[in-house]
Structure 1
Amino acid sequence: MKKKVYKSPDVMYPALFEAIQLGGIFPDSKTFVDCIPKYSTEEILANYETLKNDSTFVLEQFVRDHFTVPGEHESGYRTDTSLRADQHINKLWPVLTREPEGDGGSLIPMPKSYVVPGGRFGEIYYWDSYFTMLGLHAAKEDSLIENMVVNFAQLLRDFGHIPNGNRSYYLGRSQPPFFSLMVELLADIKKDEQILVQYMPQLQIEYQYWMAARSADEAKGQMQAREKGEQAFFKAVFIEDDNILNRYYDENGTPRPEAYKEDLHTAELSNRPKDKVYRDLRAGAESGWDYTSRWLKDGVHLETIHTTDILPVDLNALLYHLESVLEKASRLAGKEEVAQSYAALKAKRKAIFDKYFWDNESGFYVDYDFVAKEKSPILSLAAVFPLYFEMASDKQAEAVAHLIRHVFLKPGGLTSTLDSTGQQWDAPNGWAPMQWMAIQGLRKYGYYQLANQAKTNWVNNCLRVYQNTGKMVEKYNVFDLSLLAGGGEYPVQDGFGWTNGVLLALLAEEE
């Protein structure tokens, strides 16, 4: 059976796509790329060519005649504000669950049911899903966790990586590699370490994707790039003699179809080659931190984005963990030589980690700009990842905890960065996944009081917004508790995946 080739809407309908996205037909660029065609691509394009110059032609009507426009996933659910927050979240799981469905436009079908972040979404998101799983486990919805792991394993088999989400327009990139944590969680739930062995082939595919070594051709391309003196090849960055650290990188140097108009505008403001700006915007989306001062050359303006020049501390800590899990899985499978090779790769990453990511001056982990050959001046909560994965020395953990206590801890939780730029991953916003990584990372080094204070502040902020609005939202202002609601770039919904998941997991902890 011939394998289906998934094409992004901008590739399928070039001129029509551009006319729609620039024509202001929909308020959100994501709407059209999620439309489901009623006819074949050829028919739609032929009809467009025939009709577009007619004096009676109306583009919006053409779109509605030829595509099914996605509505809100209307569930009929209405918040019952008499419910406690945990009861509200548990009632939401069926509302946020999507069943497997056939091909529809840009949607890539999944074999099993899955949980989406919120009501407007029809697709799963990669790193969001780990934090959603924490809540599913607290809710004893473990079969859904296993379904989602099966789905991600299938994506790895089919595409050689887990895309940002199961949409054709996300296939050029991934998201922070949390699959190894998902597999570990599932093994822990089932109390069966053989789960690591079961998913070892997919874990290896994920690793090869980030290391730009999925095939003989890719490995050869990497070797040639290094021989030519290039600094990087896809997501692999050559450090010193024979070391590799990693960056975010999208395979496409074009505007994101789901943010087409916005990306064109950003590139217009920049004085750099447009394909570089587009790739940096896409890489910023792959990071999950879209967007933040971490990726901005001047620390303020989006048009100075240079994500692909940066080695992110959190990404490299995640890949250290992936190497650790692959070492353990190989050993469990009786493949001692393979286990030793992963142990060596992990040791190499750890040996140079502090040189590139530890900043003595601030006493904090930071990102590294490998093009400028300097550490980033931006302090961010990504610094907790080395604590979460126990890569920090006791002295380093103490220094990180000191800054978290004195500058990151706010009345409503932990701020993502200290910079207020207007970007959503900067101050004054706090995000559920970073609260979880920080709380657990601090606990691993014995900073229980600080961790519990961060937990209390965050939980109370989420509960306060829920009591005022009946909603769980994407992100929260952690500075100002006078605000009634949190925030998000999406319309307010009854729940938001990782907020639901982390809050439920924190509420379920034994005090």
Structure 2
Amino acid sequence: MYGFVTPSYTYGQANASPEELYGTLFKDVQNSHIFPDSKTFVDSIPLEDPLLIIERYHREKDGPDFEIAAFVDKYFKLAGHIVSEFQTDTSISTSEHIKRLWSVLTRQPENQERGGSLIPLPFPYVVPGGRFREIYYWDSYFTMLGLRESGRVELIESMINNFAYLIDNFGFIPTANRTYYLSRSQPPFFSLMVRLFSEMEGKKILKRYLPQMQREYDYWMDAGPNPAEPFQPHRRLVHLPDGAVLNRYWDDKATPRPESYREDLEHAEVALHKFKAPADAVFRHIRAAAESGWDFSSRWFEDETDFTSIHTTDILPVDLNCLMYHLEQTLSEAYRLNDALPISKIYEEKAQQRAASIQKYFWDEGKNYYMDYDFKKQNFTKSVTLAGTFPLFFKLASKSNSHYVRGYIRLNFLKSGGLLTTTVRSGQQWDAPNGWAPLQWIAYKGLRNYNFHRTANELSAEWLGLIDKEFKHSGKMLEKYNVSDTNLVAGGGEYEIQEGFGWTNGIYLRMKNRKS
């Protein structure tokens, strides 16, 4: 389909993750603290054949004058931050600045880097910015919203084709096009990307990408070889007592993340001491939270203030299941357009059943809000989050439920700079006081779907005003913002705040043009 082949190499698999490729050298570098960000080394490019570098490392590492930092500097080229050298002009409007940024954030098709972790893609794509030098899955949908406002339809098509390429080659869309992400995905927004493109190019687009949407659905819905008991999980699927199925986040590996290797080892050590938690279980929960995109949030913790109480794979997330509902709906329509009416009917019924399950398992009548569901405890989790607005975005909420959700937005989430992510101050970046562009859009569009225009316009004014204020102050578009105190920058997380920034740019332009 694409006329593009990833080359193979004599030293081993082209798609080997850095910890698999470099072994002891990888572990020693990541544990040495020579880089403040563990992603630095896994994104580096070897300057010689990796086998030769490994051989020299083992020959030299026990020498009296050996320094690992000097060795890495000699044999590896480190990737720089994107946008760091771009000169901003704060005299222009934020919208004009974003339009200039698109070319800075755009990457052209590349060849395989010898021994590097980047998976080459056949078409141009937009990256988020900062330390994120690759195409990220769920980020890209929100970036595309802004590309559409900028008239960059060809770039939207290129990015969708890249995701189709990844599905064709790997069976799913990884978090990003890096070898160390090949065991997990991200929130499944591919069907929304296809819908967005079809709004510009017609319904034929749904038919064009039907094979890839079907394959992604099969990835998320892998039920395993054996019949399952109620509340029995298999990978990303959980069976329910009424015969329905819902999805959770998962990762096919239970080891430290290569891009956060040292941090994950430290968390596992604390969890073992505190809770006697097996390291592999902790790693799996951490990786599953990374697949959610909310890395990290008290949403995934038993104790909202304690990272090591993370239990992501026990949780059925409301937002993920709303996205799967959309995928089922889109598959139904695509098969209908293909005159495959029996299959279309099957997916229509799957979507209807999931809609009923979303109401049954995620609507907490005690709180009158959509909550995540802990299927191990068979009860709602404690964390009240903006994920509860996804049923409004997908028009799954009843009118009465939508009024309650709007009330939560006004009373618990809406601040002077937009919407909080959660109501908890845990020190994690996907918690208060931070706000994130994708969740602003989901809530905003959800409010408008139910004609809560006054609240939606308030949200839009606060969020856009904060972005304009920060741009005039620093000349930057940021990954996340402090929406509670707009004079302070956002904090938390495993790395410094990043600038660029793909989804912030996209949502700004879309909301600016759609706010009335």
TM-score using structure 2 length:
0.94
User: How far 1:156 moved relative to its partner?
Assistant: 0.4
Matches of 1:137 and 1:230, distance apart in 2: 42
1:173 equivalent in alignment to 2:184: yes
User: How far 1:41 moved relative to its partner?
Assistant: 2.9
Matches of 2:57 and 2:287, distance apart in 1: 29
Residue 52 (structure 2) aligned to one of 43, 53, 71: 43
Structure-2 residue corresponding to 1:21? 30
Given the superposition, is the C-alpha separation of residues 74 and 311 from structure 1 closer, same or farther in structure 2, using an over 3 Å criterion? closer
Could you tell me which amino acid in structure 1 is paired with residue 207 of structure 2? V
The answer as to whether partners of 2:231 and 2:241 remain within 8 angstroms in 1 is no
Structure-1 residue corresponding to 2:164? 153
Structure-2 residue corresponding to 1:83? 92
The answer as to whether partners of 1:465 and 1:486 remain within 8 angstroms in 2 is no
Given the superposition, is the C-alpha separation of residues 182 and 253 from structure 1 closer, same or farther in structure 2, using an over 3 Å criterion? same
Structure-2 residue corresponding to 1:128? 139
The answer as to whether partners of 1:210 and 1:236 remain within 8 angstroms in 2 is yes
User: How far 1:408 moved relative to its partner?
Assistant: 1.1
Given the superposition, is the C-alpha separation of residues 200 and 94 from structure 1 closer, same or farther in structure 2, using an over 3 Å criterion? same
Given the superposition, is the C-alpha separation of residues 32 and 86 from structure 1 closer, same or farther in structure 2, using an over 3 Å criterion? same
Aligned residue runs from structure 1 range 306-385, under 5 A: 306-385=311-390
Residue 139 (structure 1) aligned to one of 147, 150, 153: 150
Aligned residue runs from structure 1 range 439-478, under 5 A: 439-478=444-483
Structure-2 residue corresponding to 1:210? 220
User: How far 1:492 moved relative to its partner?
Assistant: 5.4
Select between 319-328 and 238-247 the one with higher mean Cα deviation. 238-247
The answer as to whether partners of 2:83 and 2:500 remain within 8 angstroms in 1 is no
Residues 157-211 of structure 1: CA distance to partner in whole angstroms, max 9, x if unpaired? 0001100010000011000000000000001012x10100000000001101110
Structure-2 residue corresponding to 1:249? 250
Matches of 1:111 and 1:302, distance apart in 2: 39
Matches of 2:249 and 2:484, distance apart in 1: 30
Could you tell me which amino acid in structure 2 is paired with residue 464 of structure 1? K
Given the superposition, is the C-alpha separation of residues 476 and 494 from structure 1 closer, same or farther in structure 2, using an over 3 Å criterion? closer
Select between 66-75 and 317-326 the one with higher mean Cα deviation. 66-75
Select between 319-328 and 36-45 the one with higher mean Cα deviation. 36-45
User: How far 1:96 moved relative to its partner?
Assistant: 0.5
Given the superposition, is the C-alpha separation of residues 64 and 2 from structure 1 closer, same or farther in structure 2, using an over 3 Å criterion? closer
Structure-2 residue corresponding to 1:72? 81
The answer as to whether partners of 1:138 and 1:505 remain within 8 angstroms in 2 is yes
Residues paired across the two proteins, number: 500
Residues 110-161 of structure 1: CA distance to partner in whole angstroms, max 9, x if unpaired? 1001101014332111000100111111111111111000000000000011
1:285 equivalent in alignment to 2:290: yes
Aligned Cα root-mean-square deviation (Å): 1.6
Residue 93 (structure 1) aligned to one of 82, 96, 102: 102
Could you tell me which amino acid in structure 2 is paired with residue 251 of structure 1? D
The answer as to whether partners of 2:427 and 2:491 remain within 8 angstroms in 1 is no
The answer as to whether partners of 1:225 and 1:232 remain within 8 angstroms in 2 is no
The answer as to whether partners of 1:475 and 1:488 remain within 8 angstroms in 2 is no
Matches of 1:97 and 1:75, distance apart in 2: 14
Residue 193 (structure 2) aligned to one of 182, 185, 192: 182
The answer as to whether partners of 1:100 and 1:111 remain within 8 angstroms in 2 is yes
The answer as to whether partners of 1:163 and 1:173 remain within 8 angstroms in 2 is yes
The answer as to whether partners of 1:388 and 1:440 remain within 8 angstroms in 2 is yes
- Give % identity: 48
3-state DSSP of counterpart to 1:245: strand
Could you tell me which amino acid in structure 2 is paired with residue 56 of structure 1? D
Matches of 1:185 and 1:76, distance apart in 2: 32
Residues 413-443 of structure 1: CA distance to partner in whole angstroms, max 9, x if unpaired? 1111111111111111110000000000111
Matches of 1:136 and 1:48, distance apart in 2: 45
**Structure 1 unaligned residues grouped into runs of 5+:** 213-218
Given the superposition, is the C-alpha separation of residues 225 and 13 from structure 1 closer, same or farther in structure 2, using an over 3 Å criterion? farther
Matches of 2:6 and 2:104, distance apart in 1: 35
Residues 265-306 of structure 1: CA distance to partner in whole angstroms, max 9, x if unpaired? 111110300000001000001001111111001121110000
Residues 321-371 of structure 1: CA distance to partner in whole angstroms, max 9, x if unpaired? 000000000001110011011011112212222221000111100000001
Matches of 2:364 and 2:165, distance apart in 1: 39
The answer as to whether partners of 1:8 and 1:106 remain within 8 angstroms in 2 is yes
1:201 equivalent in alignment to 2:194: no
**Structure 2 unaligned residues grouped into runs of 5+:** none
Matches of 1:243 and 1:3, distance apart in 2: 43
Matches of 2:299 and 2:32, distance apart in 1: 32
Structure-2 residue corresponding to 1:215? none
Structure-2 residue corresponding to 1:275? 280
Matches of 2:120 and 2:30, distance apart in 1: 25
TM-score using structure 1 length:
0.95
Matches of 2:208 and 2:112, distance apart in 1: 28
Matches of 1:491 and 1:235, distance apart in 2: 31
3-state DSSP of counterpart to 2:226: helix
